[in-house]
Amino acid sequence: MATLLQLVLTTIQIGAVYILFALGLTLIFGVLKIVNFAHGQFFTLSALVVAVVIPWLIGLGYSLFIAYIVSLVLGVVSATLLGAVIYQLGFKRFQRDMMGSFILSAGLVLLFEGIYLDVFGGAVRSVPALIDGAVSFLGVRLSAQRLLICIIAVVLTAVLTWVLAKTKFGNALRAVSIDHEAAMLQGIPYKTIAFRGFLFATLIGAIAGALVAPVSSVSPTFGDSFLVKGFIAVIVGGLGSVPGAIIGSLLIASIEAFGGFYFDPSSSTLAIFVLVMLVLLVRPKGLLGHG
């Protein structure tokens, strides 16, 4: 029983970050109908800023808590501003153009990985834990740092889901994702909503990067594995479906947690790709995909 609970909690810990990442991907696809491989670069930039700024501020005499808060804000703001620039200079011209956006985003991945490598160096960076120790729960011991990140990620996911379901901005995003021409006829400014939706998705990815940095090894290619898992999650759940992104992320996380425990990481990775093939054979649009 304790083992099962441990694996469920591990699934939630992993899945919470995957959900934040996948939500950004599915929002961009839903609003702009583009595939954005560069989404992982915003995630990476935020994590890199956190990994660089925290040791610098601690060296200046600031506490770890203050250093983490400041670095998190700087990382999220930097990544979001980069997203705004990239949208205005690139993706704005490739809205609803799958092929053009694919080529552009693939090129941006190579460009920014080279820039990050030049600016931050190729060394793997670690971020000190904000909270040391472990927490016992029903006979299961959890890392306090991972538990904190999990709680924050779950709360953020709940807030984001509420924003998309209950606010005027969320309703506009959902209307545009269903039929942008009909939404425009109803007075919704598509260009404005598209820009804000892209920034909102970038913000979500940047927050995920800053949150996961303290429990990961950060490098210029940090976001690549998350990008792959994020795309798998939205494909399984259904491109453009917010509930689908959540379900897909939890499925991927559960396979990693249970498969890694009972078998090995390579077997769990293979199982993830088998899951994708089975879902696409039965439901080509994904579990909750439209159409």
What pLDDT digit, counting tens, does each position of 91-126 carry?
A: 888 877 778 888 888 889 889 989 999 988 888 888
Look at residue 203 and tell me whether its pLDDT is greater than 70: yes
Q: Is 37 exposed, middle or buried (0-12, 13-18, 19+ CB in 10 A)?
A: buried
CA distance linking residue 179 with residue 240, whole number of Å: 12
Helical segments of 121-222, H only:
144-166, 168-178, 180-185, 190-212
Helix pair 265-282, 242-262: axis angle to 10 deg: 140
What is the per-residue pLDDT across 17-36, written as a single tens digit (0 to 9) for each? Answer: 888 888 888 888 777 777 78
CB atoms within 10 A of CB 159: 10
pLDDT digits (tens, 9 = 90+) for 45-97: 999 999 999 999 998 888 888 998 999 999 999 999 999 999 988 888 887 77
CA separation for the pair 17, 250 (Å, rounded) = 10
The model's pTM: 0.86
CB neighbour list of residue 135: distance below 8 Å, 6 or more residues apart: 141, 142, 143, 144, 147
| Sole residue written with tokens 């995920």 | 208
Residue in the block written with tokens 């950060």:
218
| pLDDT top residue among 235 and 263 | 235
